[in-house]
Structure 1
């Protein structure tokens, strides 16, 4: 049986998550709740859980600070957050699961189900945890991105990504040569995340790394040639902005 704990400084949220766990995941044993870094540290040390539902904002600090005290840790974490956009960005870079407040039952089930799957597979997420910690430091710009597929977890250097291509709810990441990784997330999920790393959406289906553009051709409607020799179309309304961004590099 999977063992879980809930760490949240709002009693009402503890109750909501406890009830949802009991209703939708009766095979998960809830071993206790805590409301701070101090009490959470004691609970995790004592209970040795497989799964931690962790609020980002606690009464005496953040959930990230709690994890730093426990590092390295083997349990899986599902984060709970209400508003901290920076924290959400760090979580997204590491491809870990999170639940937004107020809790949506469908999103709750999806996040817990994915965590349970990782636990049952005994999948090592230590590399994801490292990316999370690196991304969270506000003075350190994230350099790596976790891409989670149905079969593997890939840790990639953001600078090595040439471009991303959308296929409805899927996104394919392309690298040097013909190397590619397909993930089941939309391109929109990555557009904002990678924007600060000189990525630009030149077309509805393409998000490109400006540092890997070799040539911009304005003929035939406009297209670019990447350093890996791939040709990518550029929409007419994005061409002017693209040229401006390239001039600023």
Structure 2
């Protein structure tokens, strides 16, 4: 197992399972933010039934399951075996769900069918060099297809490739993975440079409460 896979397996052990139902009583739902029952939903992808949609960094598969539930061909990719084991145990028998253990850019290079939409929720778009990933996504998006991703907004003055720490035991050093933090206007410039259009960015404020960190949401079209 690669060091990156070990790091995300460690992260997976620290993450709770998705609730059986959300506040509206739904058994599947789409969430772009780090907060429960907050923000927009699957409508950002604009995909009708039958569309082929790719989740880059699908984790335990909750968003993939919701896409399958509304009739999409939902493909989830994650580098962590532990994450995918949890996804398969809960959602693997659901019609329309397809799960793969792979590195994001490598999976895109191997795919030959293409996608109507590609998305990442605090996932691979945040943790992969955009010089490698964005061209691979653009190559596999069908004409008019959408790329949508969400992540934490950058800390002021800390832009570009940053270290992200995953804690372990009390006597162990944390594991380190790289993430790419950019201001919204820089994401816009990068996406245009790699052949995307209709680029939109916004920072969605956190819901009322003690936490104040919002969510950066970026949308673009092939």
Decide which structure has the larger Cα Rg and report it: 1
Task: Provide the TM-score with structure 1 as the length reference.
Answer: 0.28
Larger relative CO (CA 8 A, sep 6+): 1 or 2?
2
Structure with the higher fraction of residues in helix conformation: 1
